Amino acid sequence: MERREITLHGHRVTYTEAGAGPGRPLVLLLHGIAGSGRTWDSVAPALAETAHVLAPDLLGHGESAKPRGDYSLGAYASGVRDLLTALGHESATVVGHSLGGGVAMQFAYQFPERCDRLVLVSSGGLGREVTPVLRAVTLPGAEWVLPVIAHRRVLDGLRAAGSALSRLPVPAKPALREIARGYASLVDTEARAAFVHTVRSVIDVGGQRVDASDRLYLAQTLPTLVVWGGRDSFIPAAHAAHFAALVPTARVEVFERAGHFPHVDEPVRFAAVLRDFLATTEPARLGADDFRDRLVSGV
């Protein structure tokens, strides 16, 4: 795997690339809020054995730029389109975790001709329920509280505690380390601002405010895989069943022992499921005429 960067609209976009080669299907991996492309590090090598893998840091996250600007799902989807175009790719199988799942669905909706397959991993955008931690970020004044709870001294203390825990007979779960890495990113002032803007674009105090359910009929002919952790405490696994009811053609896999990061909790299984999905489905892009007919008929 190699870390690369490109400049788009004057802003740095950093991404991980692996498995490049002619004739290979392109798999685009989109991370969740406060995450980065590195969340896929444990599964990317296995996927790269048969596919060309791209895992970008979305704007406002990771090593990518964190400008003042639009952090809506539509803006992220357009940014993904621009990244693919700049790198010379016509289309991709789009895999999205949490916030990235909402971006993936928005991408499939805005640019159906560029989406070969859709994979949702503990995805946002499928129901109202979401962890109270993120709902709290939408409250007035949250931007003044975050600098206190994400202060470097607090993080240093947590790192010291984490170092002590790592010496115990049972080490911390990988997903906990992933959450800690996202929390640590909020030390940066620009990252905190981007985090707050992103959360408030999709969540309010009552829960998720963006719901793709009324447009999922457009995905009936798009090969779709849904993966969820049965112990997800951020977004309930019931949302996977809700998606399956609206899109009966979708394949649904629930990792009963996993939490909100099934690709981190069970990377071997996740990679095997995704590789099987790629091998047993054909890319299916919706043409302009088909898209118009579906919009008019509503089915």
Mean pLDDT, range 29-46, rounded to an integer: 96
In angstroms, the CA 194 to CA 197 distance is 5
CA end-to-end span of the chain: 41
Query: Which burial class, exposed, middle or buried, applies to 69 when counting CB atoms under 10 A from its CB (0-12, 13-18, 19+)?
Result: middle
Question: 278: closest CA among 92, 100, 98, 124?
Answer: 92
Residue 98 is among the residues annotated as catalytic for this protein: yes
Complete domains list, the chain, with CATH: 2-130+210-297 (3.40.50.1820), 132-202 (no CATH)
**pLDDT at residue number 60:** 95
Residue 232 is among the residues annotated as catalytic for this protein: yes
pLDDT tens string 211-244: 999 999 888 889 999 999 999 999 999 999 999 9
Q: Would strands 52-56 and 26-30 be described as parallel, antiparallel, or unpaired?
A: parallel
- The residue annotated as part of the active site, out of 97, 185, 201, 232, is 232
| Whole-prediction pTM | 0.91
Query: If DSSP states are collapsed to H, E and C, what string results for the chain?
Result: CEEEEEEECCEEEEEEEECCCCCCCEEEEECCCCCCHHHHCCCHHHHCCCCEEEEECCCCCCCCCCCCCCCCHHHHHHHHHHHHHHCCCCCEEEEEECHHHHHHHHHHHHCHHHEEEEEEECCCCCCCCCCHHHHHHCCCCHHHHHHHHCCHHHHHHHHHHHHHHHCCCCCCCHHHHHHHHHHHHHHCHHHHHHHHHHHHHHEECCEECCCCHHHHHHHCCCCEEEEEECCCCCCCCHHHHHHHHHCCCCEEEEECCCCCCHHHHCHHHHHHHHHHHHHHCCCCCCCHHHHHHHHHHCC
pLDDT tens string 152-173: 554 555 444 444 444 545 445 7
Residue 260 is among the residues annotated as catalytic for this protein: yes
* Least confident piece of the model among 214-218, 270-274, 291-295: 291-295
Question: 248: closest CA among 228, 231, 226?
Answer: 226
Which two structure tokens, joined as six digits, stand for 245? 């009811």
pLDDT tens string 240-257: 999 999 999 999 999 999
Taken in order 192, 82, 78, 53, is the CA torsion positive or negative? negative
- The residue annotated as part of the active site, out of 36, 98, 122, 201, is 98
Q: Which has more pLDDT, 181 or 41? A: 41
- The residue annotated as part of the active site, out of 31, 61, 239, 260, is 260
